Amino acid sequence: MQVIENLKVKEKVYKEKLKNGLTVLIIPKKGIQKKYMIWGTHYGSNESSFIVPGEKEVTNVPNGVAHFLEHKLFEQENGINSLDVLTALGVEANAYTTNDHTAYLFECNDNFYEAMDELMDYVQHPYFTDENVEKEKGIIGQEIMMYDDYPEWRVYLNAMQAMYHNSPVKIDIVGTIETISKIDKDILYKCYNTFYNPSNMTMVICGDFEPEAILEEVKKRLIDTKASGEIRRIYPEEPESVAKSRIEQKLEVSTPLYAIGIKENVKCDQTSEKNEIIRKHIAIEILLNLLFGRSSNLYKRLYDKGLIFNQPSLEYEFTNIYAHILITGQSNNPEEVYQNFKNEVNKLKQEGINQEDFERIKKMIYGGYIREYNDVQDIARMFLSDSFKGIDSFDYLEEIEGITVKYLEQILNDVFKEEKMVISIVKN
């Protein structure tokens, strides 16, 4: 078992790749009562065209299959829903689907091994029939209609549709009522058998465990499956330009919502060094806080004017096929917030970055990285998400030290381009 240690947070990760291809990450937390387990597959809403290992023809499936599968896996052949079983055990269980992965998880103080039995059983034993698939279409259809009227989701999705022409990230993770109507049990089994192979999955366990012992418990519960070959994922070409500079939608909201997006150019076949990916991520986090964080001049100025009421959410989202910045918040005048943000970016480019401000924000972000290791949930979800990006989460703690003002200014000029900016607005 490979041991990866980071002395800054005094943490170790025990990593094992099993014969069936499953990657298991164990993060021991001595003396902590909470235990967390998450099992994910590198399969999200981005994958609607692919070539199954051993096949030559391209398989195309409707949008929303990954999320549909997530819903269906809880339903067992004996009629019992595994989520109900886990809840009865007194554990907090859930699942989620993103653009690039799907995950099943639980957190508990007690009954860990009983919960582990249930989770590993339902994830490995899909049960799809014509009847239960049709029933699920109605349930997910209601979810889709609910999200259609949810302002926070619409302002996000509209920003995606403004930035991207063809990338699957612009598509709603749950699909549409039309696309899910085309899903049947054969499609679900094909996607399950392709993407839920252990060689495409990672499991993370965090808590007070002996690594070798908990690994044996995992092995005991795995069914006999052989590792598959590489799945060829097919994505449409994405132009460098944004699709639209602005999208506005009217919904019932007390205060208008806005999402400022900045698209970054990422080619589908691009493979960057993992350290460069991490450095860029850290640099963008620092820049966003310099520009629009709670201690920034822009935030103070807009807050004093009554244009914003709290700090906007500042995010950088990326996979190997897309990358973008998202700034979301509320304002009675989103257009003025947007113009002020663009002015602040230009001002920072012209005047340069203040060394003192840079050091202060860098320390703040480093402190945030350290705090993530205090919570079993934060640790496990971070390591799972990063593993599917080919990143070691510990590397953020190492790479941040080497970030300089010069590098920050390079990223500022390369990424924060006005022609790559969009705004999405939802107002009454």
- Report the phi/psi class of residue 408: left, alpha or beta, with left for phi > 0 and alpha for psi in -120 to 50: alpha
CATH number corresponding to 2-233: 3.30.830.10
Q: Which residues of the chain have pLDDT under 50?
A: 268-270
The pLDDT tens digits for 347-395 are 999 999 999 999 999 999 999 999 999 999 999 999 999 999 999 999 9
Q: How many Cα atoms are found within 13 Å in the side-chain-facing hemisphere of 284? A: 22
For residues 276 and 264, the answer to whether their CB atoms sit within 8 Å is: no
- Spell out the domain ranges in the chain: 2-233, 246-427
For residues 244 and 161, the answer to whether their CB atoms sit within 8 Å is: yes
What percent of the chain clears pLDDT 90, i.e. is strictly above it? 92
pLDDT on residue 271: 53
Spatial distance between the Cα atoms of 136 and 142, rounded to a whole number of angstroms? 10
CATH number corresponding to 246-427: 3.30.830.10
Catalytic residues: 70
**Would you say the CATH fold of 246-427 matches that of 2-233?**
yes
- Contacting residues for 59 by C-beta, under 8 A, at least 6 apart: 49, 50, 51, 52, 190, 194
- Cα Rg for the chain, rounded, in angstroms? 22
What's this model's pTM, rounded to 2 decimal places?
A: 0.93
The pLDDT tens digits for 127-147 are 999 999 999 999 999 999 888
